[in-house]
Chain A
């Protein structure tokens, strides 16, 4: 009897112990996730690291009307004297009337938050590449160059939209989350340094058959623009000349071919596999009798000289209910799964106009005039003969207005950087315009989350 009892106790302990046994093999250890990859794995091979790079390009154009996909064009177009929304709409009205509330969702998510999301990914790739021992050296350089370019592109728009912005170069949220706004000058220094490095790291030819990933010339073209904004005329001219002389790009003689995805003047474009451009879908109305969401302003329409072929090729008018509505028609596909148009970020025509302006600023009247007239000639306009620097600079500004309209906010940034915002927009917008409107408000939700952030004046 006693033995039987003992046997039962022993067997219970054994049974209990057996049940507890899996813990020795660390029951709580689970295999890594199957549908996601750890950072160390991503940066273990050339192929997966490349996926992390192209993944950023995809993110930048995944959604319509976001920072890198049409938002800069539309919203700064409304803020400047280019675009106007036809029907009352509280989001668009705020930009058109230069009365953006500091808690605007567009300001917060479409511009600020999107930019820093892309910057995070660029920083994450740069860090991942640096830590990797297994990626081929050449590929490493190429990918680092691409990410420096992509990061710069985002900072370029941030700094020109908001002024001082936090310069985040790390993925460590403990550091980046508390950063105050960095002065524009410092951000610009970083932009120049990064682009200069990217230009060296990236090859002059494209890594892919089409120009949907940046090469050295894309870095040079963006660098030319950055130098121009910084009034560094010599360097702006030098970078522009490098792009023009590369021989890779040619102005399309047919204006209808400038914005197709095979355009010979495109330096860098972002492509979607099953969709055309955000701008095309936003600007082009559903039918020939429908009212467009946005029309171009009278100021822009009047800026086209008589005989300017761009007026017919890049604008279109719908007439409905006795009213006519003229809208941007650079991109011609509204909606199709057959992709013929991509989001063009940099193109040769802008580079000619950069060089024209840089040369004019350096008193190279002949050189400037030559570049300017190349663009005018393509638009079917007679070459200009100007002898004064002031006259030439104003002609370049005018040409930029009609060549680069409704494209990545060129007009808005041009007015601001040349000191023309107050006179031009003051006259155009009337009492709605205040000098402080030249900078967008730092999103209020961000100020609430980061006490180190300050607001721009006037908000």
Chain B
């Protein structure tokens, strides 16, 4: 491939550094050496172990539950990497004898010990397959025939095994507590309070020892340490009034929320260690940089809800809330939201019962409401300066952290929904269909900016009006319901649609080349790819305005990346003591094809390629999906680098995937009783067993060769109840 590339470029392959045709990987390196890097780096089997146990008991007024679990999993990468998690949780439930007071207290503690590698090694499966991994003394190689890997390619060639020498360790502890109190003041009036506390602490360290460092780089070992502590609490008092008269029910609820979140982190980085000996000691580092940060978030809300049910047939729900968040400048802190919903259980109408006896359930519902969003990070409305990592001439330095915008406010989304729910033949067949229409005109986003502003983006409300509409349908059928054999099928499908309705000033904004009014936000607005020219052998594109140049003016809208539809089918079967369930997932969509990565790594360069590129142009007259190989900066390179600005990098990425299969068997009780076991189940679960797709190359979900695709996994287990 390399030789063909150089020949196409009119160059002779050479072993002399500095020659235009210099290709050390085929002239100086052993071309018979071959490592299947995909197999070496990602071809191992990951193992997972999971164990759980719970004990529960109590009296009529007080119950408790205590449970514990352990989970450990390894990776497909070479080497000993694992993530182990142990957890303990409990519940206490108490109700006073007069049933007026109740309490639910629950807690959880989990400890996670993570030693997974820092890098996804899938990224490196395209290194030259004849790369020398070990030198003659058995150490990791950093060069071959005097050619340093670090000087090749686009500064991205390295011995991938060296990355495994960097050790990452993180220990996380999570404590969660929740208390729910309820007191019936008078029969119609209940006071409730829920309180929650959550703390998450993390201790991380990474080391970069001598073995991970190219000895030619002059770099010395380094290590990083970080400790973070995140805490949050929430208090939500509520008062609910309920009145039931005959078949009518009225409930009025008032409440408010106080939430506080704080996060602190301190990090230290030590470099220039003279050996690996004390790499875990920060004090041993000749050069130390340190940083710390603290953030706080507060949220508060007042809310009320009125729910009215008439004759168990008509339901009306009205709610209103006022939310305040510390993430906005003081004048933008508060926003009001409201919602109204109504439902009609028409199957309860005597006329319907008489006329449609096969209809066991029928409900029509509709709602309109607003929801808010303040998920944009803290302090973004302030013009903040941070300290530089190091001093300048002995003085501490400051730099502006980001662009600031004091004007952004709550994002408000309008949601309209209507749905029909039906049950037939005593609910043997259940069907529901819902239509939703959501609109937002002020989404809080990180708004892209050209870097001439000094930064890449700014937090602001998106100026465009966007609609999300769609249908959601579910169908559940009980195909068989007999004593020994049951079979249930559940099917769901969603047909979403996204559209930009308006965007004042779009043509002069930073989204001018990305969005088109009336199109999806995920549209493909790019050059039109017109295939490989059979004469010249390079990719061609349509010059829409015929000015002889390919620029953004030649962009055309060519569909979008929204899924046309997606959904799943779940089947549950049981026969005697056996249970079988399987779940198919399906998705109709356009996605990135393997050609997307070719623009980064043109075939013919030093990188290895998927065998898909063998179907290439070789001589005039050839018709092929892949253009001629090139080794350098030729017209062929310019043509392939344009590919990413065209629709040529997309293809149908629809798929049907057997996501889950589970088979289990309950051991006979008569047999178990002898061993004082109440219940014992043996099970086998598998994930991602089968994928049906026309997608070429990697996985239609990740759509990238260099990212680890979803793993196929098979789990066996046993469960006891005593």
Contacts and interface: CB of A to CB of B under 8 A. Distances in A.
Contact of A323 (B17, B272, B606, B644): B17
Contacts of B510: 177, 449-450
Contact of B296 (A31, A272, A449): A31
Nearest to A446: B450
Given A54-B397, A91-B154, A451-B507, A36 B403 contact: no
Contact of A55 (B154, B388, B394, B507): B388
A176 B452 CA distance: 7
A54 B393 contact: yes
A12 B181 CA distance: 14
Nearest to B405: A173
Interface string A15-30: 1100110110001111
B218 A286 contact: yes
B375 interface: no
B188 to A, nearest CB: 10
15 contacts: A15-B237, A16-B237, A16-B254, A27-B258, A48-B398, A51-B395, A59-B397, A89-B155, A91-B155, A179-B452, A273-B390, A273-B391, A337-B272, A447-B552, A449-B449
Interface string B225-239: 000000000010101
A119 interface: yes
A97 B18 CA distance: 12
A112 interface: yes
Nearest to A212: B393
A177 B450 CA distance: 6
A8 B299 contact: no
Contacts of A285: 216
A162 to B, nearest CB: 11
Contact of A42 (B18, B147, B254, B398): B398
B545 to A, nearest CB: 14
B514 interface: yes
A290 interface: yes
Interface residues of A, number: 102
Interface in B143-162: 146-148, 151-155
A55 B300 contact: no
Contact of B191 (A12, A89, A447): A12
Given A54-B395, A271-B393, 13 more contacts: A12-B185, A55-B385, A58-B390, A90-B153, A103-B645, A120-B455, A171-B454, A173-B403, A173-B449, A173-B454, A291-B146, A323-B17, A451-B508
A245 B503 CA distance: 60
Given A52-B398, A210-B393, A274 B455 contact: no
A113 interface: yes
A213 interface: yes
Nearest to B262: A30
A116 B451 CA distance: 7
A29 B378 CA distance: 12
Given A59-B399, A210-B393, A177 B449 contact: yes
Interface stretch (A80-88, A231-239, A361-369): A80-88
B718 interface: no
Interface string A151-179: 00000000000000010100101001111
Interface string B384-410: 111111111111111111010000000
Interface string A68-79: 000000000000
Interface in B391-439: 391-401, 403
Given A28-B325, A93-B633, A271 B392 contact: yes
B513 interface: yes
Interface stretch (B286-294, B342-350, B703-711): B286-294
A97 B632 contact: yes
Interface in A245-297: 271-274, 281, 285-287, 290-291, 293, 295
Contacts of A334: 218
A50 B395 CA distance: 8
Given A101-B638, A334-B218, A86 B401 contact: no
B382 interface: yes
Contact of B452 (A58, A99, A168, A448): A168
B396 A89 contact: no
B333 interface: yes
A88 B508 contact: no
A309 interface: no
Contacts of A452: 508
B3 interface: no
Nearest to A43: B385
Interface in B549-568: 551-552
A87 B491 CA distance: 58
Contacts of B514: 448
Given A274-B287, A450-B450, A451-B513, A36 B401 contact: yes
A286 B214 CA distance: 10
Contacts of B321: none
B298 A27 contact: yes
Contact of B399 (A34, A56, A168): A56
Contacts of B598: none
A326 to B, nearest CB: 12
Interface in B327-364: 330, 333
A310 to B, nearest CB: 23
A37 B258 contact: no
Contact of B633 (A86, A94, A121): A94
Q: In this complex, which of B193, B383, B453 has the most chain A Cβ atoms within 10 angstroms of its Cβ? A: B453
A143 interface: no
Contacts of A93: 632-633
A57 interface: yes
A431 to B, nearest CB: 11
A86 B216 contact: no
Contact of B152 (A89, A213, A286): A89
Contact of A35 (B17, B286, B293, B454): B293
B22 interface: yes
B301 to A, nearest CB: 10
Contacts of A11: 185
A398 interface: no
Contacts of A212: 392-393
B235 A117 contact: no
Contact of A117 (B254, B454, B641): B454
A419 interface: no
A16 B295 CA distance: 30
Contact of A166 (B217, B452, B507): B452
A57 B399 CA distance: 10
A134 interface: no
A4 to B, nearest CB: 9
Contacts of B147: 87, 291
B451 A113 contact: yes
A395 interface: no
B641 A101 contact: yes
Given A62-B388, A117-B451, A212-B393, A30 B296 contact: yes
A448 B513 CA distance: 6
Nearest to B265: A35
A372 interface: no
A33 B384 contact: yes
B24 interface: yes
A173 B458 contact: yes
A458 to B, nearest CB: 10
A320 B452 contact: no
A394 interface: no
A337 B289 CA distance: 14
Contact of B333 (A12, A28, A449): A28
A449 B293 contact: no
